[in-house]
Structure 1
């Protein structure tokens, strides 16, 4: 099957978001299994007051896929339900906490694996040209989302309301990796992960 050209630890450190915590947690979830391929995806978004970052790690190791997700947020002094009185007294104002969750998914349980690719200059396609972005959908529990859009009758001059149409997309996790944000290497690593996961689902399915 081969292995990724970048080690799991190096990929997590490149993500730069609590790398020691993320690597420790993922390694613990692997439970001695040797990782062969991974995707490390850091997502940043903004609200009116704060910048929020999240990291998602997918690791293929033998007959399982480990999924880890971490985000952080501020806990303010006096906020109930998180720290004891002694903990609160030791803080001044607020403290950043990180919440990380992991799931170990047997490869045999994966029901659907969809890879969407965005190609640059499709009229001058070259296999050696890097992709602009990839989107990965993986489903293993039967969950799905419904993508809706206005329906039409095909007549560009028709102004009538034809209701909505759409499609059901199997989904437990969706990742979008863009070369402009994460680099060509991250996009190629995502494609390599998908190829390896496809082979594993056939082998263990």
Structure 2
């Protein structure tokens, strides 16, 4: 009888709790792991409503000693009754040595009353490895409400390949803590596997690790 590690069992249990085609998602994740042992994971399920259709999306991040394995599964309704469904699956495996930044953004309620035991109400995890940047732009303004002058534009730049937003209200406090634990594990493994010059996935030289810029996030899906 095959004996699985505690983290492997925890991963499978998380996929079962998510309840989103758990057998399909589990088989996809374990196939992408290619025999590697998971160290930590996050499974994040989202539901979107479009007219009279319901669309669900799950993102599963699994960390191993040398890889970050990302799995996305979406479903699509092919008929009005929802009897004919289709699932779209994608996986990506990123060497941890290529991860350039891990950015965490937190939201705390009533910060004036903060105590060390207080937990963040929301966490956003942004991971970048390709060197791509996202620029959020908007009209600049000033403090004078009567001013109608053109102040140009302002914006923020952030490095991100994937962004996950987890909130206590939508996902539960334990989900926020799980995402935080995953981020800590990722940073630990990433620090032990620094970016190596010339190890970029495109074959071009890779420079030293760069910090993430900015902390404004608007999407929770994979950023291609």
Normalising by the smaller structure, the TM-score range is 0.7 to 0.9
1:145 paired residue number? 134
Unmatched runs of 5 consecutive residues or more in structure 1? 77-91
Give TM-score, length-normalised by structure 1: 0.85
2:159 pairs with 1:170 = yes
In structure 2, stretches of 5+ residues that fail to align are: 1-5, 195-224
- 1:67-106 residue CA offsets vs partner (Å, 9 max, x unmatched): 0000011335xxxxxxxxxxxxxxx996211111111110
Distance 1:20 1:8 in 2: 12
Contact 1:149 1:165 (8 Å CA) reproduced: yes
3-state DSSP of counterpart to 1:189: helix
- Segment drifting more, 189-198 vs 147-156: 147-156
Higher strand content, 1 or 2: 1
Match of 1:42 among 45, 65, 72: 45
Moved over 4 A (4+): 3-6
Q: How does 1:29-178 map to 2 (within 5 A)?
A: 29-75=32-78, 95-178=84-167
Q: 2:44 and 2:37 mapped to 1: Cα distance?
A: 20
Correspondence for 1:86: none
Q: Deviations over 1:1-20 (max 9, x none)?
A: xx869811111111111111
In structure 2, C-alpha distance between the alignment counterparts of 1:110 and 1:68, rounded to whole Å: 17
Aligned pairs, number: 189
Equivalent of residue 22 in structure 1, options 18, 25, 40: 25
Larger Rg: 1
Residues 16 and 93 of structure 1, relative CA distance in 2, 3 Å threshold: closer
Normalising by structure 2, what TM-score? 0.78
Q: Aligned partners of 1:10 and 1:129: how far apart in 2?
A: 27
Mapped to 1, the partners of 2:7 and 2:182 lie a distance apart of 8
Structure 1 residue matching 2:156: 3-state secondary structure: strand
Alpha-carbon distance in structure 1 between the residues aligned to 2:55 and 2:115: 37
Supply the distance in 2 between the matched residues of 1:5 and 1:49 (Cα, whole angstroms).
Answer: 37
CA RMSD, 1 decimal = 2.2
In 2 relative to 1, CA 44–93 (structure 1 residues): closer, same or farther, beyond 3 Å? Answer: closer
Note closer, same or farther for the CA distance 1:163–1:6 as it changes in structure 2 (3 Å cut). farther
Partner SS for 1:56? strand
